[in-house]
Amino acid sequence: MLFSGTITLDVPTFKEVVRQYAASLAAHGFENIFIIPSHGGNFAPLRELQDETGGRIGGARFHAFSDLMRFVEVMYAVGEADGISPKIGGAHAGESETSMVLAARPELVEMEYAVEGYVGEFDDAAVAAIFQKGMTALTNNGILGDARPATAERGLRYRNALADMLAAWISERMP
pLDDT in tens, 77-132: 999 999 999 999 998 999 999 999 999 999 999 999 999 999 998 888 998 998 89
Distance CA(165)–CA(12), nearest Å, equals 29
Q: Are residues 80 and 151 in the same domain?
A: yes
Give the closest residue to 93 by CA, choosing from 114, 122, 123, 107.
Answer: 114
* pLDDT value for 27: 98
- Structurally, the chain folds into a number of domains equal to 2
User: Which structural domain range is residue 52 located in?
Assistant: 11-66
pLDDT, mean over the chain? 95
* pLDDT value for 159: 97
Q: Are residues 146 and 92 in the same domain?
A: yes
* pLDDT value for 5: 86
* pLDDT value for 98: 98
User: Are the C-beta atoms of 137 and 129 separated by less than 8 Å?
Assistant: yes
CA angle 65, 24, 19 (to 5 degrees): 45
Give the closest residue to 2 by CA, choosing from 134, 105, 109, 131.
Answer: 134
Distance CA(75)–CA(96), nearest Å, equals 7
Q: Are residues 74 and 136 in the same domain?
A: yes
* pLDDT value for 131: 86
Q: Are residues 105 and 24 in the same domain?
A: no
pTM for the full model?
0.89
* pLDDT value for 171: 97
